[in-house]
Amino acid sequence: GDYGGVLLAVRRVTIVVIMVLGYIYFRVTDTTASLVSIGLISFAAVAQFAPAFLGGIYWKGGTRLGALAGLVGGFVVWAYTLPLAATHSIGGVPDSFLASGPWGIGWLRPYNLFNLTGMDPVSHSLFWSLFVNIGAYVGVSLLSRPSALEQSQASRFINAFTYAPEGDAVFLWRGTATVDDLRAMLERFLGASRTARLLTDYGRSRGVDWSATHLADAELVQHAERLLAGVMGTASARVAIASVVEEESLTIDEVLRMLDETSQVRAYSRQLEQRTRQLEQKSRELEAATAELRAANERLQELDRMKDDFISTVTHELRTPLTSIRAFSEILHDNPDLDVKRRVHFLDIILKESERLTRLINQVLDLAKLEAGAAEWNTTEVDLRVLVDESIVAASPMAQEKGVAIHAHVDGDVPPIWVDRDRIMQVMLNLLSNAVKFSPAGSGLVQVAVTQADDVLQVDVSDNGPGISAEDQAIIFDKFRQGGDQSRGRPQGTGLGLPISAQIVSHFGGSLWVESAPDAGATFSFTLPLASESRR
């Protein structure tokens, strides 16, 4: 027959019996007690299952005897300290039982067990019942030896998430069961139509025709147990399945074989994990290498663009003086009757353009050597005061021709520096010539200051010219870039003086920068480390 209806009826009867027992307890105890107090007493009783429940989940050492001992001890203490004492109001126990304990033993008083005071009856009962429960559970479990079945079940239950959901149970099961017996068992609790549908769906998912199969395999047995567990609970389902399954005990050889296969599977799994980690590491290294190659490629493209720009700019700068030289040379060649004054003027232009061309070529070569690290350096100890004075003397003819005054201020005690004298002289002359060029004719003023700051010397070259805009300040240290507007009378130059000066100063561990604003002049400054620092 269909046991599903029988099981449902049993559950309903059980509920009614529990309600009747609760009513009887209510009638035979203090009827003035509130529902809350009754609920707290019930809670203390239910709490007795907690030690065995939690211990079974998290502790492999717990045994069946330990759990039973804990439950028995806990419920005995609970019954003694709460329900039994509660019958006092209806004459169940005498006043002396509560006041003096049984047989006058004071430390056995239900509400003051072992002379513990300061707690309400429910808390007092809960404390002592759980104390005895846990103590008996742990103590008996440690003193008793769990059976092999208990150890296996405990390990599989506690380590449930360590193993595959189905594989281990199927792997360890040995027994005999027929499909018809399992179908009949399922029909009793699930009904014939539902059983047929569930088995058909399960067989379709595995590609099995149950009508052509007599013996059930381990996976079908486990699936049937799960279906029954949804109706009657896991423990009852296991008992029901055991009634139709003839289990076989595992031999030592089978256990050893299964252990060997399990070890091989886990070793293979560890190898797969190791290979996966290695592949992930290789993938990260490949991504890093790809990023480096991408950055290098972008850098090469930028260098290629800079090379093209450099060649284009150099070609343009060379073409300008060459065009002038050729044009005036053709005029002189085609007009032999030119007067001496015009001939001298044209020759003077050709000479200046030739000098400009030579200067440009020398600066391009000089900059190329500096950037390639192939420049020759003659480093010696230099007195910067003397070098500044000599550079001012060298720039004086240009300044006097334009009517620009040059003033210098050098600290009295300036330590020596360790540099290439000619290279630093080149930097000073470049800054002075730029300052003179951009100073107003007749009223120009160039000031040179040398100061010591910590372990460096700082040189400032200032002028009272038109100043440099913020946009131009960002480009004047680039090759072939000059600030200002040619149409507004910007002095001609190659645009290489400042880049070369910056390279020279950087070689000796210093830096070169500019501070300026439109119509407020400009101050170019550079620093050089002292001799003791630069030698390190």
Interhelix angle for 218-232 vs 179-190, to 10°? 10
Strands 444-453, 404-410: pairing kind: parallel
> Which pair of tokens denotes residue 276?
């996966």
Enumerate residues 6+ apart whose C-beta is below 8 A from 270.
none
Q: What is the pLDDT along the chain (536 residues), one digit of tens a residue?
A: 455 567 678 888 999 998 888 777 777 665 555 566 677 878 888 889 989 888 877 777 788 888 899 999 998 988 888 777 666 665 566 666 666 777 777 777 877 788 778 888 888 888 988 999 999 999 998 888 776 666 656 665 555 555 444 444 444 555 677 888 888 888 877 888 888 888 888 888 877 776 666 777 778 888 888 888 877 777 677 777 777 776 555 555 655 665 676 677 778 888 888 999 999 999 999 999 999 999 999 988 877 876 777 677 667 667 777 888 888 888 888 888 888 888 888 888 888 888 777 877 776 777 777 776 767 788 888 888 888 888 898 888 888 888 999 998 887 777 888 888 888 988 898 899 889 988 988 888 999 999 887 788 889 999 988 888 888 777 777 766 555 544 444 455 556 778 888 888 988 889 999 888 887 889 999 998 886 544 44
- Is residue 72 within 8 A of residue 102, CB to CB? The reply is no
d(CA 224, CA 177): 11
Q: Which burial class, exposed, middle or buried, applies to 47 when counting CB atoms under 10 A from its CB (0-12, 13-18, 19+)?
A: middle
In whole angstroms, give the CA distance from residue 378 to residue 299: 33
Strand 404-410 to 417-420 pairing: unpaired
- The pLDDT, as a whole number, for residue 16 is 93
Number of helical H runs and strand E runs in the chain: 20, 9
Q: How large is the C-alpha radius of gyration of the chain?
A: 52
Non-local (6+) Cβ contacts of 434 within 8 A are 493, 497, 498, 524
In degrees rounded to 5, what are phi and psi of residue 244? -115, 0
- Residue labelled with tokens 């179908």: 183
DSSP 254-284: HHHHHHHHHHHHHHHHHHHHHHHHHHHHHHH
At position 214, the amino acid (one-letter code) is H
List all residues 6 or more positions away from 436 whose beta carbon is below 8 Å from its beta carbon. 395, 398, 399, 402, 404, 406, 444, 446, 463
For 417, 427, 456, 534, 535, the CA distances from 531, given in Å and listed in that order, are: 4, 18, 9, 5, 6
- Which residues, at least 6 apart from 498, have a Cβ–Cβ distance to it below 8 Å? 430, 434, 476, 477, 512
Question: What are 293's two structure tokens?
Answer: 């190659």
Question: Which residue from 423, 387, 424, 388 is spatially nearest to 406, judged by alpha carbons?
Answer: 388
Cα–Cα dist 81/62, whole Å? 27
- In 3D, which of 206, 240, 235 has the Cα closest to residue 220? 206
**Strand-strand pairing, 512-516 and 444-453:** unpaired
CA 57 – CA 156 distance, rounded (Å): 10
| E strand or H helix at 514 | strand 512-516
Contact 405, 447 (CB under 8 A): no
Angle at 167 between CA 161 and CA 171, to 5 degrees: 125
CA-angle at 378, arms to 376 and 381, nearest 5° = 155
Whole-number Å distance between alpha carbons of 344 and 331: 12
pLDDT of residue 535: 47
Distant-in-sequence, close-in-space partners of 346: CB < 8 Å, separation ≥ 6: 328, 331, 332, 338
50-58 and 148-158 helices, crossing angle to 10°: 80
Are residues 502 and 483 in contact, defined by beta-carbon separation less than 8 angstroms?
Answer: no
For the question of whether the overall pTM of this predicted structure is more than 0.75, the answer is no
Question: For residues 465 and 435, is the Cβ–Cβ distance under 8 A?
Answer: yes
Supply the pLDDT for residue 101: 73
The pair of structure tokens assigned to 195 is 């059983």
Q: What per-residue confidence (pLDDT) applies to 488?
A: 45
Alpha carbon distance 149, 350 (integer Å): 111
Task: Tell me the H-state helices in 335-489.
Answer: 340-372, 384-402, 421-438, 470-473
Contact 433, 401 (CB under 8 A): no
Predicted pLDDT at 113: 80
**Among 175, 179, 167, 176, which Cα is nearest to 254's?**
175
